[in-house]
Structure 1
């Protein structure tokens, strides 16, 4: 009488678990990058306040605000959130410093949003260029990019295109 094998043997089960473990190890870095990008995106409303202040300052002053006061927003250390320790406006550029409950990979790192505009055309909306993203053709970029975080952590929206002002 011949026995017909039914189901997994113990060794087959161990092999399957090892393969799943190896695949999980390779997937973990991608999950941490996604989590960091999520933390950055979650700070969007705070960044919108700073961007709106720069846009309004530009409209009122005829030039980009040199600092938070000219932009009409709170001082840098008062612009804080769950993941943000400060938001600085410097010559129109918005520099966000990450800290508080943020992932350690971007703690004390800076991400910069810079305004781009069409020279001599104040009716054309300001476009925001994130980190080292390319400047839209026909626009002039102002401010200095102080971004010091690794490019892989910069949100994909920043890498692919510039976002328009809120």
Structure 2
């Protein structure tokens, strides 16, 4: 009587383990980048909320609002250390909203700054551009390349 082999051989099991290891090595960095991007979405949402307050005041008065009129960091924000508003002077000067990032989970991204830069228009609107900042007082985009791979699609420039 012939005995039928049951189960897998050692080499077959080793091949399966190697394939799983390769897939994990590829998937883990991609997942980490995805998590950083999703956390930066909170930062852009907070910037958008403050942008609405600035734009509303600018439309009514044709001047940049004072800093105390801007909501600032939301109470439930996990990934924003500070949110700085730099009002423009006059009607057409530029102003900015600069968010300092914290606790994202990547030391290359933590403490960097994502910002909205606005230029007042004479018709009462503000033309906004999204970018990176190197100081909380920046009123024009700076090239902070550490954030480039992680900037959400809503803020890509």
* TM-score normalised by the chain length of structure 2: 0.71
> Is the Cα contact below 8 Å between 1:79 and 1:86 reproduced in 2?
no
1:18-51 superposed Cα distances (whole Å, 9 cap, x missing partner) = 1211221122111111101111113454323311
Shift of 1:129: 2.2
Contact 1:116 1:127 in 2 (8 A): yes
In 2, distance between residues paired with 1:154 and 1:130? 10
1:49-83: per-residue Cα shift (whole Å, max 9, x none)?
31122212322442445x623xx125x6x666211
Q: How large is the RMSD of aligned CA atoms in angstroms?
A: 2.9
Aligned to 1:109: 112
2:43/2:99 contact within 8 Å kept? no
Distance across 1 between alignment mates of 2:67 and 2:74: 10
Q: Say how many residue pairs are matched.
A: 141
Contiguous gaps of at least 5 residues in structure 2: 89-94, 133-138
Question: 1:131 aligns to what SS in structure 2?
Answer: strand
Q: Distance in 1 between matches of 2:143 and 2:40?
A: 13
Name 2:99's counterpart in structure 1.
Answer: 96
Q: Distance in 2 between matches of 1:86 and 1:11?
A: 55
**How many angstroms does 1:17 deviate by?**
0.9
Deviating above 6 A after TM superposition, structure 1's stretches of 4 or more consecutive aligned residues are: none
1:75-86 aligned within 5 A: 81-86=77-82
How far apart, CA to CA, are the structure 2 residues paired with 1:110 and 1:147? Answer: 11
For structure 1, list consecutive stretches of 5 or more residues without a partner in the other structure. Answer: 133-142, 161-166
Aligned-partner Cα distance in 1 for 2:17–2:128: 47
State TM-score, norm by structure 1. 0.68
> 1:109, 1:147 within 8 Å by CA — same for their partners in 2?
no
Q: Residues of 2 paired with 1:147 and 1:51: CA distance?
A: 21
For the 8 Å contact 1:86–1:97, the answer to whether it is kept is yes
8 Å Cα contact 1:84/1:97 also seen in 2: yes
